[in-house]
Structure 1
Amino acid sequence: MASIVWDFFTVSEEDISRAICTKCSANIARGGNKTSSFNISNLISHLKRQHRYDGVFKAYEDASAAKEAPPKLAAKKCPGLVPIAAAFEKCKKFSRDDPRAKAICDFIMEMMALDDQPFTIVEDTGFCRLVNHLEPWFVLPSCRYFSDVCLPAKYDVIATLLHTLIDGNKDISFTTDLWTCDASPVSLLGLTAQWLDKDFKLYRAVLHAQELPGSHTATLISEAFEDMLQRWNIAKEMVHVVLRDNGRNVVKAMDDCGLASLGCMAHTLQLAVNEAVLSQRAVSDYIAIGRKIVGHFKHSQVASTALEKLQERLQIPKTRLQQDVATRWNSTFYMLKSLVAQKQAIAAYAIEYKLPATLSAHQWTLVENMLTLLDPCEQLTRSISKATTTAADVIPSVHALTCLLKQTVPTDHGVKTSKDTLMNAIQTRFGHIEAEPLYYLATLLDPRYKNRYFTLASKRQATEMLREKLHSIEDDRAAHGSPHPDEPPAKRSRADGNNNNSLMGMFDEILEENNEATVHQKNTRVDADLESYLSEPTLHLSRCPLEYWRSNQSRFKCLVQLARKYLSAPCTSVDSERLFSAAGHVMDERRNRLTCEKAEMLLFIKKNLPLIHPELTKTVEE
């Protein structure tokens, strides 16, 4: 009776003394040159040695056991024994179209986008070994398969979903920015969108990070912007506002497109602080000294180690000094703050070692007072950079900051001129905000603020503008046969809450001074709804305005429609800046030959994956 091993081998046609493995085509000797000396030991050894982990040797063992065992005994011991044909089928690798193989490729493609991994990771030995261990039957495709097949396929899936989500939304807000890559001579124009659906759920999406070659003129930006909107079938009537930087070319480009646009609040605050404080001679002098001190420890491991020993000796927390970035004023703030925190250790170091520059006692006092002056600006920068911040936060934030700067405090010594200059710069750069409809209507429709943060004249103008828009909506509804329901509005109470933060404390002070809403005669249902809404106590700053409107849709139907429009707008272009922070990781030195088209697809997938996998929202935002 022929051995079961011959199910896995065939006799060589060229030499009967050798057998060919049907699995790997290996040529194996049968034990000698004469027929009488032929045996199967070498064949079994080959299966055991070469095919132990791919299932073939296991199939041979199972088949041998089934053949040699008595029928009844085999049935008892091996009730789950599979036929040889089934065993071979089980050992086959996944085909490219197998659902399991597609799922694995999909996860690998998402990993490449999320973790900024190059396509060539699928050729790395360690990654190949890991995948083979986790799923031996999966054949890892080439890097070209992922770049040319998987990448466009995943892009199309997300783009199709995004088209569905955007379709039908009337008021979409955008942010845009320009970025130049350090690793390659490439400039990108970014476009992000955010909007509120009917249930006040906030959606954010990256639409483009497309290449913008040549000189960045207003005409070129305008044409590129209109092309991006057309590719997503977004009519200009659907654009609520575009948040952009204060560059003249970008401002003119938005005007040429006929789109409402506003400057990024963070960028405007950056300009105000730079021109009013950091550019002053005395301030710039001790900032320059601070940079030299930080640079000394950054570039010398010996100096850094010595400072750590002094920190330990003086029982000061071991923290590294921070280097600033010239284009970010708050990074200079953090640098000075780290120096003040390590002032004692730095002074001790200067006694034992040599520093390139030192701050005098007077300069240390000025630094500390300057940090106190700039602290509210830093708080404001962090606050408006949050993903939940909207255009409604601009007027109250600037009002609170201005009131805080008007106060006289002991730490004004030596920085009073800087303080006055900063207040003037803020009033100059933000002086128009109470006259900007988008800002004051958004503020009125935010239940945390309403009309409590306006001057008297601005309060009346803003309230009347809101009233006119509500009457316009009511007239349109009546014309279409949908009269406003006549249920009486219920009262809402303000949530209690305390905040010891100085800037937040100023919000509470302003609110206490203006806690009575302006009273109007209730001539119509619209007037009654508006009066009811404005007369209710404001929500605490920690509450979410979108949750308020979500639960009050049936009470203020006209107000809800405007709230959905005006609370969709951010107050900064931080989303676009975060997009290009991610772009810096995608287009780095390792991938300096990556085409802009593929880079844009990778960024698109990375930033929009939360639309498919909501659990990734926090990861992507970070």
Structure 2
Amino acid sequence: MVQAKYCAAKEKAMAEVKQAAYVSLTSDMWTSINMDGYLGVTCHYVTAEAKLATVLLCVSQFPQTHTAAHITESMSVLMTDWGISGKIHCMVTDNAANLVATAQLLKVRHVPCFAQTLNLVVKKAIDQTPKLQEIRQKAKKIVSLFRSSCNAKEKLSEMKQLMGRPVQKVVQEVDTRWNSTYDMLQRLYDQREAVGAALSNLNTEVVPLTSGEYDIINECLTLLLPLKHVTTEMSAEKTVSASKMIPLYRMLQHNISEKSTKVTREESIQLGRLR
């Protein structure tokens, strides 16, 4: 039944894609938790009703080495299968050399992913702010405790209820998504009293964050908030994003420059200078 549903859905999607005059592609290589390589390709186009549409062309296992030649071969077969070889306007990928070279071999205009570039910029800025990096590592250990220990999880939930705080889970960051670091620190800051009380009632070697470190988090989050908004805006699927890049970039420059003049902690000032 699943195979039949898949074939019917693919046939319908192919018919819709073939009606598009031009399409754009987004593509990425990724590795599963079992260390299997995969190629993901998504097609974007505008319908006759002037609405944005997206179709996932494939998430295929990729056992070959991730060279540009091998990726180009797979992409060529995929493009022929979907009947889009002659109408690709551009291909958006990250800055990986093999994917940039793939676009060149396919003779397709390459556009670097703005959100991924922004992700790299923010991660580098955080990495080059030693104290913030230290706080981040402490935060990851705290979150890991509350996500892996039933006793710790129950104690935190108990403390939140006693303090009248919303029962929300702590957030663990994902290394490849800087905004998950923002979400982790923001959630810990919002629940700092309950987190501190829970840790003090647990037999653990995990070191709690100090009030000074929470002050640093608060100021750094203020600086990073515009970047968080831009990352979310550029990740939208139902609105045009390419035309927003330059205005958003200018707004980021202005906004972060303005916020940098209002922070007082040395670590926040250092983070702001890395813009």
What is the TM-score normalised by the length of structure 2? 0.89
Specify the SS of the correspondent of 2:214: helix
Q: Which residue of 2 aligns with 1:206?
A: 56
- Hey, which of these two has a bigger chunk of strand by percent? 2
CA contact (8 A) 2:23 2:84 kept: no
Q: Which residue of 2 aligns with 1:410?
A: 262
* Residue 58 of structure 2 is aligned to residue 169 of structure 1: no
Shift of residue 350, structure 1, vs aligned partner: 4.6
Q: Which residue of 2 aligns with 1:394?
A: 245
- Structure-2 separation of matches of 1:353 and 1:181: 35
Q: How does 1:57-456 map to 2 (within 5 A)?
A: 109=1, 112=2, 151=3, 153-183=4-34, 186-236=36-86, 238-355=87-204, 356-390=206-240, 391-408=242-259, 409-414=261-266, 415-421=268-274, 423=275
Percent identity between matched residues is 26
CA contact (8 A) 2:22 2:88 kept: yes
Matched to 2:271, the amino acid is S
Shift of residue 341, structure 1, vs aligned partner: 1.2
- Structure-2 separation of matches of 1:229 and 1:311: 53
| Cα distance per residue 1:517-539 (max 9 Å; x no partner) | xxxxxxxxxxxxxxxxxxxxxxx
Matched to 1:375, the amino acid is L
Shift of residue 340, structure 1, vs aligned partner: 0.7
Specify the SS of the correspondent of 1:339: helix
Query: CA 1:309–1:217 in structure 2 vs 1: closer, same or farther (change >3 Å)?
Result: same
- Structure-2 separation of matches of 1:243 and 1:156: 27
Q: How does 1:484-499 map to 2 (within 5 A)?
A: none
Specify the SS of the correspondent of 1:316: coil
- Structure-2 separation of matches of 1:353 and 1:163: 57
- Structure-1 separation of matches of 2:176 and 2:15: 39
**RMSD across aligned positions (CA):** 2.1
CA contact (8 A) 2:126 2:132 kept: yes
Specify the SS of the correspondent of 2:156: helix
CA contact (8 A) 2:135 2:209 kept: yes
What is the TM-score normalised by the length of structure 1? 0.41
Query: CA 1:347–1:179 in structure 2 vs 1: closer, same or farther (change >3 Å)?
Result: closer
Query: CA 1:304–1:166 in structure 2 vs 1: closer, same or farther (change >3 Å)?
Result: closer
Matched to 1:314, the amino acid is M
- Structure-2 separation of matches of 1:272 and 1:155: 39
Matched to 1:418, the amino acid is L
Shift of residue 344, structure 1, vs aligned partner: 1.4
| Cα distance per residue 1:274-325 (max 9 Å; x no partner) | 1112443211101111112222222332233222232222222222222222
Point out where structure 1 has 5 or more consecutive residues left out of the alignment: 1-108, 113-150, 424-622
Query: CA 1:158–1:300 in structure 2 vs 1: closer, same or farther (change >3 Å)?
Result: closer
Specify the SS of the correspondent of 2:50: coil
| Cα distance per residue 1:332-352 (max 9 Å; x no partner) | 111111111111123334544
Specify the SS of the correspondent of 1:407: helix
Specify the SS of the correspondent of 2:218: helix
Query: CA 1:182–1:403 in structure 2 vs 1: closer, same or farther (change >3 Å)?
Result: same
- Structure-1 separation of matches of 2:201 and 2:85: 68
Q: How does 1:21-32 map to 2 (within 5 A)?
A: none
| Higher gyration radius (CA) | 1
Matched to 2:61, the amino acid is E
Shift of residue 249, structure 1, vs aligned partner: 0.7
Matched to 1:416, the amino acid is I
Q: How does 1:468-487 map to 2 (within 5 A)?
A: none
- Structure-1 separation of matches of 2:6 and 2:150: 46
